[in-house]
Amino acid sequence: MNPLTTLAYGGPGPWILFAPLVWAAVVVTVVTVLRRTARRGGRRAPWQAAREAPYGGHSPIAILGRRFASGEIDEDEYWRRLSVLDEQFGRPLKDGTV
């Protein structure tokens, strides 16, 4: 039997569509697992850690915001202290740079 004529007898048939469907299912599963892992409370995805401030919720800017929200300091003191903290710690911009 000549190997060049094997496709002449029926060809691959409808099963040729099965391989791309399997790969699509694998990709969808991986994306779903990664997104659900990233949404969990304490654990963050590796790409999300770079966007957070180095101190997270305990950063001086976050503490200052909580003190202002609770009424411990007034607006003038908040803005004065925030300008000092911005010079030292900075606030990350939308693209992740400081």
| Closest to 46 in 3D by CA, of 55, 54, 38, 36 | 38
10 vs 4, residue with greater confidence = 10
This prediction's pTM: 0.37
Specify the residue for token string 């029926």. Answer: 10
Q: pLDDT at residue 41 above 60?
A: no
pLDDT of residue 70: 93
> 79 pLDDT exceeds 60?
yes
Q: Quote the CA–CA distance of 95 and 11 in Å, as a whole number.
A: 51
User: What's the DSSP call for residue 43?
Assistant: -
What is the Cα–Cα distance from 59 to 55, expressed in whole angstroms? 5
